[in-house]
Structure 1
Amino acid sequence: MITVTVIGSGAIGKFYGALFTLAELHVCHLERSDFSILQQQKYYELELPDGTVIEITPKQIEKDYKQLPKSDIILIALKTTANDVLKEILPYVLKPESKILVLQNGIGNEEYLASFIKENCSILCGVTTTGATRIRPGYIKIKYLGELKLAPFLTGQSCGEEIKQLLKSSVNHAMYPKIQLAENHRFLRWTKLLWNTPFSSLAVLFNTSVDALATQSHYQKIVRALMYEVCLVAKLDNAEIANNIEKLLAATATLHGFYPSMYVDFQEGRRLESQYIVANVIDYARAHGLDTPVLSFIYETLLKLEKNGRVFTCSEQNEIFRLITPLIERSNS
């Protein structure tokens, strides 16, 4: 039997772990906050977009990573703020031919793993738009299935089709997200960042939902400026993504009352994934001689927000608008 280990058993990890479980694979979840309830009741619950609630019973649940099984597939859905622990965890689960599916935000994720994994493993980039939220311990709400795009980290690592077929082999066809295969993992990462960088950052800074950011002119001006700079950086990496801007704005306008995971993290006192979602973009730009004044300002402001540990007041938000306006003009000139 194929063994799958899920590292990062939050909302996304549990949803995709559920697809592997329903495909009757041996799925092991590395759990922290949900360990007690899963140990007690042996299952967790998924609420699907149509309101149906199903129970998912993984074969194995562990709190100690040293007890994890050697695995054919390792699904990494860990917050990037905890990536350092992967150096400790992965030696316990890796086999010579393991396949690593990375479902994380940001860019530079696969490169980070490749920097210390010496085994002959295949690393697969996964970019998903599945809307999943942990409502309470052991209960995940799926607002929309979205889609999953897969691309190999290295050319020739062709495990994407195998992963796709395994995810789609569960008996519950109503749970399938749309799954597509791609060739360039960097292109996938930049495409997701075109949405994630502006909307995650600004939702936190202005304490507002993504549909408001996409539709209200004073917010949208900043969103567009951030998207413009992300496009410029992506172009340095041979990723032409500017034609996606209007489509993303229109789609986001329909996400009424939706808050991205970075917003939820801030509200619950967790560290922000600003390094992989914002700082890595800025670092790539600087390494190639490109100035990104709006992105840099937003990153510095996120750091200040995180240090303060509270939402900005209206006057502080107005000060952000005042300071960022000339930077937007500079970026567009």
Structure 2
Amino acid sequence: MKIETVDDLRKLRYGIIGAGALGGFYGSLLCKNGYRTAFLMRSTAKDVKEHGLKINSAWGKWEVHPEVFDSPQDMGVCDILIVGLKTISNVSLKEIFKHTVGPQTIVITLQNGFGNEEYIESMLPDNSATPGISRVIGGCSFICCWRENSTVINHTAGGNIEFAELDGVERPRIKAICQMLNDMKIPCAIKSSPADVRWHKLVWNIPFSGLGLVAKADTAAVLNSPELRATARRIMAEIQMIAKQDGIDITDKFCEWQFERTESMGHYKSSMQIDYECKREAEVEAILGEPVRRARKLGVAVPLMEMIYGAAKLLNCLNIQDAK
């Protein structure tokens, strides 16, 4: 499948796997801009089929009526799949890909945490038309959005996306995808590697999501507490050390900017904190556990991250037991 320009991308069929707040938001923008987009949904499929999807965004308000499917068999093969699924549901991907991935399908992951690109690649059917070139593109979204109900998504801040090819090569396909999103007014950039993208995202995710769950503190509470704010900055310093050992430079200026941009979020709760409060399993392993394991492998001491991970893991387990 030749992808060199935005015009090439306009001919394709897109599939959103995990059309929750994040997947639904970006999928709605594809629909709004005339791209043929199918949503794979479970519990919300019937409501979205009947009423459409409404977006209340910092970028405006819109409503779309996409193709909606409640099974991968009915959805069928797509040219580009965007995975916004929570990492705790990754076990379902092999069955989903069996019906939605063709020989030339490209899979873009916008999931949180580490290890997603490798896992997704291992779940793809062995039918690639481009052996030697990964069909997976790693990405992260820096966004504040959440579902108000089954048919309404709220977006209050952020929205930019960073991508990287697994081997770091800037192929025409990733340049065209980035241009397409920029044309849609979604700020987009290409980075040197998935690790570069993910370590930078985790500079915010680990302290604010981790403290949100363990201390039951929204972003405003973390910022307004001298102790929690200082702890968040020390966690960021640990992430800087791991990333440096992994070949990624994260500047102090970038860390300080996390506090500046979080000020505009108000009393925002991360998806990890919301999942915990709703008695759902939180993405503790992908966001907290895997970075800690990588730190151990690289020989970097991260006592604060170890403590946050241990506490969050226990709370998550107890929470799941209580929900049963």
Range into which the TM-score falls when normalised by the shorter chain: 0.7 to 0.9
Q: Does 1:68 align with 2:79?
A: no
Q: Does 1:44 align with 2:49?
A: no
Deviations 1:233-267 (A, max 9, x none): 11121011142221212222332111111111112
Secondary structure of the corresponding residue to residue 77 of structure 2: coil
Report the equivalent of 2:5: none
Aligned partners of 1:115 and 1:236: how far apart in 2?
26
CA shift for structure 1 position 296:
1.2
Q: Does 1:103 align with 2:123?
A: no
Where do 5+ consecutive residues of structure 1 fail to align?
A: 171-175, 311-333
Aligned partners of 2:157 and 2:217: how far apart in 1?
20
1:168-317 matches, within 5 Å, as: 168-169=182-183, 176-243=185-252, 244-309=254-319
Query: Letter of the aligned partner of 1:261 in structure 2?
Result: S
CA shift for structure 1 position 148:
1.2
Where do 5+ consecutive residues of structure 2 fail to align?
A: 1-10
1:22-37 matches, within 5 Å, as: 22-37=32-47
| Selected match of 2:139 from 116, 121, 126 | 126
Kindly report structure 1 stretches of 4+ aligned residues shifted beyond 6 Å.
Answer: none
Of the structure 1 ranges 64-73 and 150-159, higher mean CA displacement relative to structure 2 is found in 150-159
Of the structure 1 ranges 97-106 and 74-83, higher mean CA displacement relative to structure 2 is found in 97-106
Contact kept, 8 Å, 2:45 with 2:69, in 1: the verdict is yes
Query: Letter of the aligned partner of 1:144 in structure 2?
Result: A
Q: Give the fraction of aligned pairs with identical amino acids, expressed as a percent.
A: 25
TM-score by length of 1: 0.85
CA shift for structure 1 position 157:
6.0
Aligned partners of 1:95 and 1:162: how far apart in 2?
20
Change (3 A) 1:122 1:26: same
Report the equivalent of 1:5: 15
Aligned partners of 1:15 and 1:32: how far apart in 2?
16
Aligned partners of 1:250 and 1:94: how far apart in 2?
41
Report the equivalent of 2:65: 57
CA shift for structure 1 position 168:
4.6
CA shift for structure 1 position 291:
2.6
Contact kept, 8 Å, 2:83 with 2:111, in 1: the verdict is yes
Aligned partners of 1:147 and 1:264: how far apart in 2?
22
Superposed CA RMSD in Å reads: 1.8
Aligned residues: 302
Contact kept, 8 Å, 2:156 with 2:265, in 1: the verdict is no
CA shift for structure 1 position 182:
2.0
Aligned partners of 1:145 and 1:94: how far apart in 2?
30
Aligned partners of 1:27 and 1:283: how far apart in 2?
37
CA shift for structure 1 position 12:
0.8
Aligned partners of 1:137 and 1:81: how far apart in 2?
20
Report the equivalent of 1:315: none
CA shift for structure 1 position 54:
1.6
Aligned partners of 1:155 and 1:299: how far apart in 2?
30
Secondary structure of the corresponding residue to residue 102 of structure 2: coil
Query: Letter of the aligned partner of 1:166 in structure 2?
Result: M
Change (3 A) 1:36 1:56: same
Secondary structure of the corresponding residue to residue 314 of structure 2: helix
Contact kept, 8 Å, 2:111 with 2:139, in 1: the verdict is yes
| Selected match of 2:85 from 78, 83, 96 | 78
Aligned partners of 1:241 and 1:292: how far apart in 2?
16
Aligned partners of 1:295 and 1:145: how far apart in 2?
25
Aligned partners of 1:168 and 1:292: how far apart in 2?
37
Report the equivalent of 1:316: none
Query: Letter of the aligned partner of 2:308 in structure 1?
Result: I
Query: Letter of the aligned partner of 2:150 in structure 1?
Result: P
CA shift for structure 1 position 308:
3.0
Secondary structure of the corresponding residue to residue 146 of structure 1: strand
Of the structure 1 ranges 214-223 and 81-90, higher mean CA displacement relative to structure 2 is found in 214-223
TM-score by length of 2: 0.87
Contact kept, 8 Å, 2:181 with 2:187, in 1: the verdict is no
| Selected match of 2:151 from 108, 125, 138 | 138
Contact kept, 8 Å, 2:145 with 2:154, in 1: the verdict is yes
Contact kept, 8 Å, 1:153 with 1:185, in 2: the verdict is yes
Aligned partners of 2:73 and 2:122: how far apart in 1?
22
Q: Does 1:166 align with 2:180?
A: yes
Aligned partners of 1:250 and 1:40: how far apart in 2?
41
Aligned partners of 1:153 and 1:18: how far apart in 2?
27
CA shift for structure 1 position 131:
1.6
